[in-house]
């Protein structure tokens, strides 16, 4: 990805290395300082809301159904209390597509705002695990000292406490994610039964917990920097007009250290800058923005793939600007173009194209969602059966009928022949009660008097009645010899 216009000795050298990998190729641990400032406070508040939602959503029920469920195994999905069957899968796909295009659209306008503010990885890592780590092991410097210290009872106690809490949290997160997949009822059954009765579920629980523990205790920022596919797409999604977290190199450069003279000028001379200070940029090269960065990068090098837009560097730099009595916002949400030319054109051709695609997929999603059938009935001629002639001389065909009731109330169904007149249908099975949000199968026996038979292949119209009211018409083929059949509405 681009983008650098700052003056440094080796302006492009940062591109040749990963900040968390040393020259030998070994990973070195990042000890980010705890940020403090308005963005961190807003992110914390939002994160607590998201955490409550993430942990509670699979356990909240609407009309007896889980609020959110992604049961891939049984192909059953519930989004915000609305049940989707495998037959509705195209709507789920359209919904996912709409979400993806929305993320692309927001990314092209606002960069990786998702990563910094909403992504579960960042929320769990920065707002739960990192805070616990700071609480137990102290600030970044104390953490580094503890890691480098010899083994001692104090070190063992702190590490054991931290990793114990980390594992307990990972266990809770793993179980919550499992509840999204297999359902909260199934999860509670697994938890409350001996492991031998639900070996697969128990193994899944342990694996999920270990994976989350590994990610949050060890893997950390590498999930965003190395693994996350969304991060890899950044260079294709953003451009010079994207509003991202950006260092104002026009205002900040040339950077130089804040000297004792500068300090005296601020305090003793009543805020009047020295002539040297007045002629240089606002960046005092204090590295506070680097110290708080969870991915260890220097934002002054320009927008980089590793930046997760967490805004910690904005908060850190604002504190510095306050101290040296300069305006806040040396690092801020801004596009490269707005810093270069002081003009902002966020509605670029690319954004217009994304808005167009978004409108199309969103409209399709809304249309198909609002017009989807709440009762689906499929009638297929029973495979391998021939037409038979009964004692009255009527021709008879057999069919399989599948009913899906997506409503939140039970239904009583009946099937009648609408055409040809004189034909009749018998249901083999009970469809007088199709329970809410369920599937039911039955067989149909369709008879047509011999004088109503037209050739060896004719269409028959069936009516499906729910609680006495016609809700569907189906057309199916009636054969007098053994052919396959199709059904159409």
Name the residue nearer to ligand SF4 (CB basis): 289 or 464.
289
Residues near ligand SF4 (CB under 6 A), total? 29
Tell me whether strands 69-71 and 438-448 are parallel, antiparallel or unpaired. unpaired
Q: Which secondary structure element, helix H or strand E, spans residue 267, and what is its range?
A: helix 260-267
Distance CA 172, CA 168 (A): 6
CB of 112 to ligand SF4, least distance (A): 8
Distance CA 135, CA 213 (A): 18
Assess 297 for contact with ligand SF4 (CB under 6 A): yes
Name the residue nearer to ligand SF4 (CB basis): 67 or 247.
247
Name the residue nearer to ligand SF4 (CB basis): 137 or 306.
306
Report CA-CA distances (Å) from 433 to 197, 199, 221, 279: 33, 36, 54, 84
Pick from 225, 299, 387, 442: which binds ligand SF4 (CB under 6 A)?
299
Assess 448 for contact with ligand SF4 (CB under 6 A): no
Backbone angles phi, psi at 392, to 5 degrees: -85, -5
Interface of this chain with ligand SF4, residues 64 to 93, rule: CB under 6 A? none
**CB-count burial class (<10 Å; 0-12, 13-18, 19+) for 343:** exposed
CB of 380 to ligand SF4, least distance (A): 56
Q: Number of C-alpha atoms within 13 angstroms, CB side, residue 399? A: 29
Name the residue nearer to ligand SF4 (CB basis): 50 or 400.
50
Length in residues, the chain? 489
CB of 2 to ligand SF4, least distance (A): 15
CB of 316 to ligand SF4, least distance (A): 5
Distance CA 78, CA 179 (A): 12
Name the residue nearer to ligand SF4 (CB basis): 123 or 413.
123
Q: x/- binding map, residues 308-347, to ligand SF4, per CB under 6 A?
A: xxxxxx--xx--x---------xx----------------
CB of 5 to ligand SF4, least distance (A): 15
Distance CA 489, CA 483 (A): 20
In sequence order, the 6+-apart residues with CB closer than 8 A to the CB of 100 are none
CB of 247 to ligand SF4, least distance (A): 6
Name the residue nearer to ligand SF4 (CB basis): 312 or 423.
312
Name the residue nearer to ligand SF4 (CB basis): 14 or 358.
14
- DSSP assignment of 297-364 equals --GGG---TT-----HHHHHHHHHHHHTT--S-SEEEE-HHHHHHS----S-HHHHHHHHHHHHHHHH
Interface of this chain with ligand SF4, residues 237 to 296, rule: CB under 6 A? 245, 247, 252, 283-289, 292-295
Among the listed ranges 270-278, 301-309, 334-342, 353-361, the one in contact with ligand SF4 (CB under 6 A) is 301-309
Name the residue nearer to ligand SF4 (CB basis): 320 or 379.
320
Spell 133-156 as b/e; 16+ CB within 10 A means b: bbebbeebeebeebeeeeeeeeee
Name the residue nearer to ligand SF4 (CB basis): 289 or 462.
289
Pick from 76, 300, 395, 406: which binds ligand SF4 (CB under 6 A)?
300
Residues of this chain that interact with ligand SF4 (CB under 6 A) are: 245, 247, 252, 283-289, 292-295, 297, 299-300, 307-313, 316-317, 320, 330-331
């Amino acid at each position: 990805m681009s983008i650098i216009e700052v003056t440094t000795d080796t302006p492009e050298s940062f591109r040749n290395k990963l900040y968390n990998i040393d020259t030998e190729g070994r990973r070195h641990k990042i000890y980010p300082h705890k940020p403090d400032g308005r963005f961190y406070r807003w992110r914390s508040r939002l994160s607590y809301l998201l955490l409550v939602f993430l942990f509670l959503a699979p356990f909240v029920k609407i009309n007896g159904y889980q609020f959110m469920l992604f049961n891939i195994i049984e192909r059953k999905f519930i989004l915000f209390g609305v049940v989707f069957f495998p037959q509705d899968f195209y709507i789920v796909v359209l919904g996912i597509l709409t979400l993806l295009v929305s993320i692309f659209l927001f990314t092209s306008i606002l960069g990786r705002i998702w990563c910094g503010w909403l992504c579960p990885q960042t929320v769990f890592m920065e707002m739960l695990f990192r805070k616990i780590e700071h609480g137990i092991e102290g600030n970044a410097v104390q953490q580094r000292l503890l890691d480098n210290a010899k083994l001692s009872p104090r070190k063992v106690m702190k590490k054991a406490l931290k990793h114990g809490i980390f594992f307990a949290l990972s266990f809770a997160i793993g179980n919550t994610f499992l509840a999204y997949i297999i359902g909260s009822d199934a999860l509670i059954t697994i938890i409350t039964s001996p492991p031998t009765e639900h070996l697969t579920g128990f193994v899944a629980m342990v694996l999920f917990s270990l994976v989350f523990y590994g990610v949050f205790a060890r893997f950390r920022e590498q999930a965003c920097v190395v693994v996350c596919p969304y991060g890899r797409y950044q260079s294709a999604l953003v451009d010079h007009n994207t509003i991202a977290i950006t260092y104002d190199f026009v205002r900040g450069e040339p950077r130089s250290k804040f000297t004792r003279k500068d300090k005296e000028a601020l305090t003793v001379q009543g805020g009047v800058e020295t002539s040297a200070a007045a002629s240089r940029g606002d960046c005092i090269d204090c590295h506070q923005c680097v110290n708080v960065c969870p991915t260890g990068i220097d934002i002054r090098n320009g927008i980089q793939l590793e930046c997760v837009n967490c805004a910690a560097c904005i908060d850190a730099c604002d504190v510095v600007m306050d101290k040296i009595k300069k305006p806040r916002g040396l690092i801020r949400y801004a596009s490269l173009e707005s810093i270069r030319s002081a003009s902002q054109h966020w509605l670029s051709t690319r954004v217009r194209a994304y808005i167009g695609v978004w409108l199309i997929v969103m409209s399709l999603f809304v249309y198909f969602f609002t017009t989807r059938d709440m009762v689906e009935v499929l009638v297929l001629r029973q495979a391998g059966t021939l037409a038979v002639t009964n004692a009255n001389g009527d021709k008879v065909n057999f069919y399989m009928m599948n009913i899906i009731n997506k409503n939140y109330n039970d239904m009583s169904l009946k099937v009648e022949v609408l055409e040809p007149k004189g034909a009749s249908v018998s249901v083999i099975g009970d469809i007088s009660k199709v329970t809410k949000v369920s599937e039911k199968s039955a067989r149909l026996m369709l008879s047509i008097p011999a004088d109503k038979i037209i050739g060896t292949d004719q269409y028959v119209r069936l009516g499906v009645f729910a609680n006495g009211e016609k809700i569907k018409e189906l057309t199916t083929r009636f054969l007098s010899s053994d052919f396959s059949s199709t059904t159409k509405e």
